[in-house]
Amino acid sequence: MCKIGEIMVKENKKKKLNPFLFFIFAVVIPLIIVGVITVVILSIAGFDTFGWMKEKGSTMPVVSSFVMSKEDEEIENKLGKANETIELQKEEMNELTNEIASMEGIIDELEMEIKRLENRTVDDENDNENDAEINDEVKQASASFRKMDPEKAATIIQNLDKNMAVQILSKLSGDVRGNILAEMEPKNAAELTEEMMK
């Protein structure tokens, strides 16, 4: 029987509850259930239990760190609105940055166009100056041919570039031009006359 008694003692020891578990199941859990039922009944009756708990909890030393006061809620709301405003402003900044980049590209293109037009203007002025120089040279050559013997003038003009020959002949009076053309070979005289008429 000794062995049976020992076994029963061991079984009784196993069956004993841990005092901590006993406290949780016997005291804490029933208190929590009673508290929840009380809050539900008071809420149904129209009592603002959550507002009351926040108000009272915010004055308790330990609980106040977990419960948010009205001031904390206002600060939280303001912080949320400030974050939304920051996000909107970031989006606007990105849009404006893209617009600035686009405008800078347009400015670069316009500056290149201005340079191209300035270069073209300078080239046109140079061409005009060159044309004026050529016209002066043609006038001087025409003056020389005016005083020259028509036969010698005809020989020289026939050996010139057609355009230059036409320009020189155009600057001469009709009589001088006719005398020089009369001394040229008929084919050359006809070609130059035809060019002058264009």
Per residue in 12-50, pLDDT tens?
Answer: 555 566 778 778 888 889 899 998 898 888 878 877 766
Q: How distant, in Å, are the alpha carbons of 67, 117, 164 from that of 138?
A: 104, 31, 8
Q: How distant, in Å, are the alpha carbons of 43, 133, 134, 168, 189 from that of 145?
A: 124, 18, 16, 8, 16
Q: Is the pLDDT of residue 153 over 60?
A: yes
Query: Other C-beta atoms within 10 Å of 148: how many?
Result: 15
**What is the per-residue pLDDT for 66?**
55
Q: What is the DSSP letter of 34?
A: H
More confident residue, 71 or 181: 181
pLDDT band at 191 (very low <50, low <70, confident <90, very high): confident
pLDDT > 90: percent of the chain: 10
Helix (H) or strand (E) holding 17: none
Least confident range from 50-59, 129-138, 159-168: namely 50-59
Q: Is the pLDDT of residue 71 over 90?
A: no
**What is the per-residue pLDDT for 134?**
65
**What is the per-residue pLDDT for 49?**
67
Instruction: Name the pTM for this structure.
Output: 0.35
**What is the per-residue pLDDT for 130?**
61
Q: Average pLDDT in the 141-164 region?
A: 79
Per residue in 115-131, pLDDT tens?
Answer: 888 877 766 666 666 65
